Structure 1
Amino acid sequence: MAGLMGAGLLARGQGLGMAAFDGSPQEVRRSFWAAALSFPLFFALARIAGVDEPVSFPWLREALSFTITWVVFALMSERMATVSGYGRNWPRFMSAWNWSNLIQYAVLLAATIPGRFVPDVAEQIVSLVAVGYALWLEWFVTRQALGVPGPMAVLFVVLDVALGLFIHGLIGG
């Protein structure tokens, strides 16, 4: 749970959260439990957002999209970090990224729930702020963990978002 506590510090903009990540292979493997903990939040977000699923098992499609995206991002980000000269920092990045995703999904889900009880404009503002925060958090974690400049951190965030949209669309979400 040290990873989640470190991610909690990072979520508050405190770079000290990186001290919770040692980048060991064991830590990286354990950090993928964050994906298992994040999936129910991801699935709830899809249901609340009103994703229209014509299949009888919508969770299967969501699970495939979620899992494939998570794994492909891990593989592509490792390659991207290596090519750009930051590969030595990738294990710490992956651990911090995994745990910070759990926080991102929790924030996004928390932002959608009040939307059912407030006017549309307020719902849109809360959603926009939550998405902006989630993007900022991923950017901040990338900068802190990889030690990359801000514009390069943006490229990692764009890769993650683009992969998510592409794979979800490909699977038929």
Structure 2
Amino acid sequence: MAGSWGTALHGALLLARGRAEGLQLIAAPPEDEMTVAARSFWAAVLCLPAFLCLHLLDWAQGRVPMPDQPGQALVLDLLGYVVGWVGFALLSHVMAASLGRDHRWPIFITAWNWCNVVQYLILTGAIVPELLHVPPLVAQTLWLAAMGWALWLEWYATRLSLAVPGFTAALLVATDFTLGLFLLGFTESIR
């Protein structure tokens, strides 16, 4: 069934392995694509535990942003998470329209949402070596590889779902990454 979580996640996992047929599992019939796209935002809820895990593990390593007010820091991080997720969705809609690809935006945002689940799994898994106290060079190399894979996955899904050249897909990924960095910097500046 188009739009089911299991099918969509399977599609995202296939995309993460470089298999284009994953997009077919994420796609919906034209009459259902906006409904399926709207439902795909449940991926943000599925990613929330991994987001919290990454932040709490960072804090456990002694990098608490506001040691005297950790609750406020967490609320700011959660606001950044929501604003980043929704903000990129809105921004990508405008960008897709400017590229003449607004008709492909529903499949793009659906793929982007579900690929985020896989990206969070990759990044959460990449923090495990640090917790196991492997040598820093190994842990940092694994983290860098995970970041590279996560960015590649977003690029690949963007290129396929919007049917755009690789450079255009890279610009969209860079926009998402830049928005995330901006929000991170903004939340840190108001702490």
Q: CA deviation at 1:161?
A: 0.5
Counting aligned pairs with the same residue, the percent is 40
d(CA) in 1 for partners of 2:156 and 2:15? 8
- Show the counterpart of 1:71: 86
Q: In the alignment, is residue 123 of structure 1 matched against residue 128 of structure 2?
A: no
Q: State the 1:162 CA deviation.
A: 0.4
Provide Cα deviations, 1:42-98, integer angstroms capped at 9, x if missing partner: 121122233423123133122100000000100000100110111111100000000
Letter in 1 for 2:8: G
Gapped regions of structure 2 (runs ≥ 5): none
TM-score by length of 1: 0.95
Q: Distance in 2 between matches of 1:106 and 1:45?
A: 10
Counterpart of 1:29 in structure 2 is 38
TM-score, length basis structure 2: 0.87
Question: Number of paired residues?
Answer: 173
**Partner Cα separation in structure 2 for residue 133 and residue 49 of structure 1:** 21
User: CA-atom RMSD, angstroms?
Assistant: 1.3
Q: Of residues 155, 162, 166 in structure 1, which corresponds to 2:178? A: 162
Computing the radius of gyration over CA atoms, which structure comes out larger, 1 or 2?
2
Q: Deviations over 1:21-47 (max 9, x none)?
A: 126111011100000110110121122
Query: What residue ranges of structure 1 are gaps of 5+ in the alignment?
Result: none
Q: Say whether 1:47 aligns with 2:56.
A: yes
The answer to which structure, 1 or 2, has the higher relative contact order (CA under 8 A, 6+ apart) is 1
